[in-house]
A = this chain, B = another copy of it.
Amino acid sequence: MGNITIKLLAKELNLSTAAISKALRDSHDISAVTKQRVLALAAKLDYTPNPYAGSLRRKKSKTIAVVLPEVADSFFSLAINGIEEVAIEKGYHVLIYLSHENFIREKAILKDFQSGRVDGVLLSISAETNDIQHIQDLCNKDVPLVFFDRVCNDIPTAKITTNDYESGYAATQHLIDNGCRNIALLSISNSLAISNKRMEGYQQALKDNGIEYDAANHLLCSNDVLKNNEEIKKILLRKKRPDGVIATVEKLTTAIYLVCKELQLNIPNQIKVISFSNQASANILNPSLTTITQPAFDMGKAAASILFKALEKKNFILKNESLVIPSTLTIRESSTNS
């Protein structure tokens, strides 16, 4: 195909490749006239520089990686939007990787980044991740890393989170204010910081209201939709049936609604529901869903912005740049007395 290279431009204009390179990068080593000639020919021949040649020489790829547990979730979809927006603006490219909540995959993905493939990484860890050696290893190779949402506290770097503890507390308090005394909490992990913080907020709110925490009210859900449904059903069929449910992740909402429908439990009269969710459809559910909405887009944007600061300025200390962007409670019908 004989692609257009700097060499070709050089030969055509009787210049050295160095001159072409400099002209294209607007070095003031090159006369205005020559620059014009180079630019004109480059435009005419539709020259596009080979990114990998440059990356090899400069040891910079102008690429970042985004590692997510999954993307079939409004939160991560919106986060990607935020990330991409900043990346495009800064002239960076975005590689996307899904861990599918699988530790082995996450490890393999991060391992590859030791090659210099990317200049920086945005990471939201998988629910399975307990061992953090692979993250440690990456940081030891001086690859800038920013966590967002699902962070790992033992790694000293920037973390963009939302106020999970306060949100857990607020959700619980809201249900209590609306008469609930027996509140179930559905989560997806016992090790993720976000899960734990939401849980702690929940427990503190119970305590502050003189309600004893009942471990039977805590359900750890999996990736298996059917199994989750069964477990939720079991909880709602208990003698001491919960009068409120908090779903700490979006995807559990459907399960709750369906089980309630099946069991003919009226939301909100018999049981009140609140979800951590970014679904646009919360408003039009039956009944409309009270949500804790995370600032997904802004979190993505913030994470990317901070990463780019680290990429642009040297001596930028990532670990000083953590940021907490608050979630918002939107009260709708599913949690209030009609």
Contact = CB atoms under 8 A, between A and B. Distances in A.
A52 B61 contact: yes
B286 A281 contact: no
A116 B50 contact: yes
A211 interface: no
Contact of A285 (B55, B63, B286): B286
19 contacts: A1-B141, A1-B142, A48-B111, A50-B116, A51-B115, A52-B55, A70-B81, A72-B81, A73-B77, A80-B96, A84-B98, A93-B95, A94-B96, A94-B97, A251-B280, A253-B281, A279-B281, A281-B281, A286-B287
A215 interface: no
A94 B98 CA distance: 10
Give the size range of A's interface with the partner: 35 or more
Interface in A187-224: none
A33 interface: no
Interface in A255-301: 257-258, 261, 279-281, 283-288
A242 to B, nearest CB: 19
A56 B50 contact: yes
A96 B116 CA distance: 19
A284 B253 contact: yes
Contacts of A154: none
A337 B71 CA distance: 36
A112 interface: yes
Contacts of A285: 281, 284-286
A285 B286 CA distance: 5
A134 to B, nearest CB: 12
A31 interface: no
Contacts of A1: 141-142
A16 to B, nearest CB: 20
A51 B81 contact: no
A96 B68 CA distance: 13
Contacts of A46: 114
Interface centre among A46, A77, A95 (most CB of B within 10 A): A77
Contacts of A76: 77
Contacts of A280: 251, 254
Contact of A94 (B3, B70, B95, B287): B95
A179 interface: no
Contacts of A254: 280-281, 283-284
Interface in A94-129: 94-98, 105, 111-112, 114-117
